[in-house]
A and B are shown apart, each in its own frame.
Chain A
Amino acid sequence: MAGKKEEANIKAYSQNFTTMTPGSFAKKMRTCVIFQFIRFIVINLKMLVVVSKSH
């Protein structure tokens, strides 16, 4: 099979045909500890800004 595994769930002309799906790199980065550690800091800072705007 030459197709990509990440795209196998899409069915032509079904309700999921018009969305986007992540490729293998995007999926890998989701659980890449070093990258996610950086995202952890960034997300926390972003959340703190929203929290401080709300109190």
Chain B
Amino acid sequence: MLVSGHTAATFAAKWLGSAHEVVVVTPNAKWNWIPSNIWVGVGQMKKEEVTFDLAPVYAKAGITYKQAKAVSLNPEGSASSNKPFVTVEFTEAGKAGTTENIEYDYIINATGPKLNFGATPGLGVGSELGEHTVSVCTADHAVHASHELEKCIEKMKKGERQKFLIGTGHGMCTCQGAAFEYIFNIEHELNRAGVRDMADIKWISNESFLGDFGVGGLHMKTMGYSVSSKIFAESLFTERGVDWIIGAHVNKVESGKAHYELLDGSMGEEEFNFSMLIPPFAGVGLKAFDKAGEDITATVFAPNGFMKVDANYAAGAYENWKASDWPSTYQNPTYSNMFACGIAFAPPHPISKPMSSPNGTPINPTPPRTGMPSGIIGKAVAHSICDRILKGENAPLHEASMANMGAACVASAGKGLFNGTAAAMTIYPVIPDFEKYPGTGRDTDYTFGEIGLAGHWIKHILHHLFIWKAKLKAGWTLIPE
């Protein structure tokens, strides 16, 4: 667990004290500040600057840390015991492959996404990145991406034109924001290297309009007008000389070529020398079993592998969607001591309007659960559990619905103390509420955005601030999620 789970575990340990045990299970030895992977991916930061060792931090916080991945849940215990447990498989050197059953009173599933590269032929196999494209989803991927970018820059310096294709690698992707940051950081670095005129840069994504970002776009107040993010996004792409393909489901990737289907049903292909395509996300594939050992995975998890929580999964068509479909306590409806937060909870439906091509291929962004909501949800869930432990089983649960929550987001468009820029945005609420805010679905007094150096400074300060917070250094609780 990184954003959501780390927040939940560290607050739970602080609130519960040493009378209770908090156990963290994560396959990684290091914590990663994922947003700064963008800068690693263009060679502007080192891996060491965006990661740190988890063990000393958890030791300081009094948290039991197991470097392992959860494999299955037994929420009713087993034939021999009523105590629920999670089965984990160690990834730590020396213990790799061995398993352990860890009993629990309460469990939080904050496993984030499986990077499902395998969903698109040629993009990868399972959760492994393939050989044709690069990724910035993990720090190691980003290091690899920066080396590939460096090779392209060298070729351009020798007079060889290069084509860059950045975006989403499937019709059902989320995280367009990360691809957006990466494409403009690349453009910025090519300028810095003096080779911008040797590059053709193209965006490809599953959004039905540029600036959708998986949240159905947003309207921002500018000079007295409510202006769609489509206008701002198209403006930035035009200004920076970046062409775009939207409404695209990338259905196959080969060496130097991506094949895609568009919302109008037509097929196309795009050649590239360098490509970063975000994979679709799925749940990490945890299984669940009842007391008798029967598989109850379909009861606990949605078909996409994310854990079911207190959301309305029966909302049906877009026209019926309501802000209240979104969960507020993140409690599993079947097992009241199980919660899911961050990307791991199953959303009731997308935020962007679902669309498909005449061939029946769904092409629309799936809902993002960015850092700030993931952190707030993790903290609320930790609060609920601590209250139930300390105040009794009937203590009311804390609520943190994305329909009543805003998000602040800073999207980098190039790094540099004096020439960097970033789009600083807030969106309120994250889930549009067309009953409360007819028209745009959002409160335009609290939804704004602007691009400039100030945004870059904020992004850079947040990098240091959140690593400070994650390391639990002095005053960490004062830094908001």
Which A residues lie at the B interface, using CB under 8 A? 6, 9-10, 15-16, 18-22, 27, 29-33, 36-37, 39-40, 43-44, 46-47, 49-51, 53-55
Number of A-B residue pairs having CB atoms within 8 Å of each other in the complex: 85
Q: Which of B74-82, B235-243, B310-318 lines the interface with chain A?
A: B235-243
Contact between chains at A51 and B408 (CB < 8 Å): yes
Main secondary structure of the interface of A (DSSP, over half): helix
| B22: min CB distance to chain A, Å | 22
Contact between chains at B458 and A43 (CB < 8 Å): yes
| A54: min CB distance to chain B, Å | 4
Contact between chains at B234 and A16 (CB < 8 Å): yes
Contact between chains at A55 and B454 (CB < 8 Å): no
> Among B238, B376, B407, B481, which residue has its beta carbon within 8 angstroms of that of A16?
B238
- Chain A residue with Cβ nearest B449: A43
Question: What 8 A-B pairs have minimum CB-CB distances, sorted nearest first?
Answer: A19-B234, A40-B454, A50-B406, A39-B454, A36-B453, A16-B238, A50-B426, A30-B452
Chain A residues within an 8 Å CB radius of B419 = 31
Contact between chains at B238 and A9 (CB < 8 Å): yes
Chain B: residues with Cβ within 8 Å of the partner, total of: 34
Is B164 in the interface zone, CB < 8 Å from A? Answer: no
**Given A31-B453, A55-B480, CB of A40 within 8 Å of CB of B458:** yes
CB contacts under 8 Å to A, within B215-250, are: 231, 234-235, 237-241, 244
Chain A residues within an 8 Å CB radius of B239 = 6, 9, 21-22, 27
**Given A49-B446, A54-B405, CB of A37 within 8 Å of CB of B454:** yes
Which B residues lie at the A interface, using CB under 8 A? 231, 234-235, 237-241, 244, 372, 376, 404-408, 418-419, 421, 424, 426, 428, 446, 448, 450-455, 457-458, 480-481
Could you tell me the distance between the alpha carbons of A49 and B428 in the complex, rounded to whole angstroms? 11
Could you tell me the distance between the alpha carbons of A53 and B451 in the complex, rounded to whole angstroms? 23
Chain B residues within an 8 Å CB radius of A50 = 406-408, 426, 428, 446
> Among B241, B244, B406, B452, which residue has its beta carbon within 8 angstroms of that of A39?
B452
| A23: min CB distance to chain B, Å | 10
